[in-house]
Amino acid sequence: MKRLHLILVSCLAVLLLLPLVLDKYLLGIFVMIFFYAYLGQSWNILTGYTGHISLGHALYVGIGAYTSTYLAMNHNISPWIGMWVGAVLAMLVGLVIGFLGFRFGLRGVYFVILTISFAEIARLVVSHIPALGGFAGIFLDFKPSFWNFQFRGNEAYYYLSLGFMVASVVVARLLELSKAGRLMVAVREDETAAEALGVNAFKYSMLGIALSAFMSALGGTFYANYIFYINPNSVLGMGLSIELILRPIIGGMGTALGPVLGSFLLTPLSEVSRAYFAKGGLEGLHLILYGVLAILVVLFMREGILVYLKKAFGSRLGLEP
């Protein structure tokens, strides 16, 4: 076993035991760390591995959140079932966007703008659908039970979100090791060269966006049943899209652990500073800090902190450089 694996397994063991000692507030911060690592990973699977930049990932999170919530509140269908419905729906939407983007050859910023456009259209349309709560959004009924995906206290959410995060790392790692994942990276590095070698760039880009949208939507269901309130801006807005890409970019795009590292660095900073600055009437200051940090990381460690750390300490962990 490589030293890195030992370290990761011990980290996981510590995380599994943490709820024994942490209070509710700190548990809540960990829930958000895991949640954003998960969403970041979902985005990373598209953008990190295939190189197609999405800035509209809130769309898929929103589809997940709204679908499972709508089914639960109007048809009494458990979010455990609704989350898969939402995920399939998001995947289909992702495939449509991917088809338009990749078939019509929208590269770089054009694809970015395409993804933003669809997310914004969805945000505006949902704002005008009374059955989905319109601008005001939906307050979920609090009916704690396993079946309802709702729990008292933060322990259950802690383990759930930890599970989400670990599963997403496993998915990303398996993808990295698979042939499909390697071909996705080939598309990212040089689409023309990959196609010349017979790689079906369209197919692997579609695979990336489908998987990415599917996973993001599952996260949306978790969010809705953790926060108990969703509205078009919170789960379909550009703010969420920016939030969820910051972590993998700062941690390291195109790596399985980058989004996790990014989230462990950024989320506590965000949660603590948000509360701290809001108390002092300095709302928004934490986002300014974020912006500065993101710029500094891109300027000085353009491949993310993880890659930087790997270069510095990789040999001691038994990793290839």
Partner 1 sequence: MNYQLLLQLAVQGVLLGGVYGLIAVGLSLIFGVMGVINFAHGPMMVLGMYIAYGILVLLGLDPYVSLLLVAAALFLLGYLVQATVVNRILDFPEAMQVLPLVATGLIIENAVLLGFGPDPRSPRTALGLATLHLGPVMIDVSRLMAFGLAVIITGVVFLFLKYSDIGKSIRAAADNRVGALLVGIRVDRVNNFSFGVGAATTGAAGALLLPLMATSPHLGHDFTMTAFVVVILGGLGSLPGALVGGLILGVAESVSTIMVPATMKQVVSFALLVAIMLFRPQGLFGGRA
Where do contacts with partner 1 occur on this chain (CB under 8 A)? 47, 51, 53, 55, 100, 104-106, 108-110, 112-114, 116-118, 120-121, 124-125, 127-128, 238, 242, 245-246, 249, 253, 282-285, 287-288, 290-292, 294-295, 298-299, 302
- State in angstroms the smallest separation of the CB of 150 from partner 1: 31
Residue 19 dihedral angles phi and psi, to the nearest 5°? -60, -15
Of 108 and 144, CB closest to partner 1: 108
- DSSP for 191-238? HHHHHHTT--HHHHHHHHHHHHHHHHHHHHHHHHHHHSEE-HHHHHSH
- The minimum distance between CB 166 and partner 1, in angstroms, equals 26
- State in angstroms the smallest separation of the CB of 251 from partner 1: 13
Question: Distance between terminal CA atoms of the chain?
Answer: 18
Nearer to partner 1, 52 or 150 (CB): 52
DSSP single-letter state for residue 93: H
Largest CA distance in the chain: 59
Shortest distance (Å) from residue 195 CB to partner 1: 18
Which CB sits closer to partner 1, 65 or 114? Answer: 114
Q: How far is the CB of 297 from partner 1 (least distance, A)?
A: 9
Q: Please list the alpha-helical segments (H only) found in the chain.
A: 3-17, 24-50, 58-75, 79-103, 108-127, 155-177, 179-189, 191-196, 201-227, 232-236, 238-251, 258-279, 285-300, 305-313
Q: Choose between 144 and 291: whose C-beta lies nearer to partner 1.
A: 291
CB-nearer residue toward partner 1: 124 or 170:
124
Question: Measured between alpha carbons, how far is 295 from 309 in angstroms, rounded to an integer?
Answer: 18
By beta-carbon proximity to partner 1, the closer residue of 8 and 293 is 293
Strands 138-139 and 229-230: antiparallel
CB of 261 to partner 1, least distance (A): 17
